[in-house]
Amino acid sequence: MNKNELDPAWVESQLRDAQWLTSSASSGGTNCVEVAFLDQDIVALRDSKNPDKAPHLFTDSEYDAFVSGIQNGELRRP
């Protein structure tokens, strides 16, 4: 799946009906990242403070690599 070739109308529909998840460690759903697992193995990631801003879209494998990088400390600031 090439996420850059997704039909914008499909993406809009998926995001409108998405079930956004937040970390259990978040403080009441503020100041955190939200994730939604869409059809066609697409994952959407957004800032809970700006839910109307377009989310970042990842393929499942890109999202898995992103999460793995966080868990392994690879994405820390130098």
pLDDT digits over 3-21, tens only?
888 999 999 999 999 999 9
Helix (H) or strand (E) holding 67: helix 60-71
> What is the model's pTM?
0.84
Question: Which residue is associated with the tokens 């890109």?
Answer: 62
Surface-to-core class of residue 38, CB atoms within 10 Å of its CB (0-12 exposed, 13-18 middle, 19+ buried): buried
Is the pLDDT reported for residue 23 higher than 80? no
pLDDT digits over 61-78, tens only?
999 999 999 999 998 888
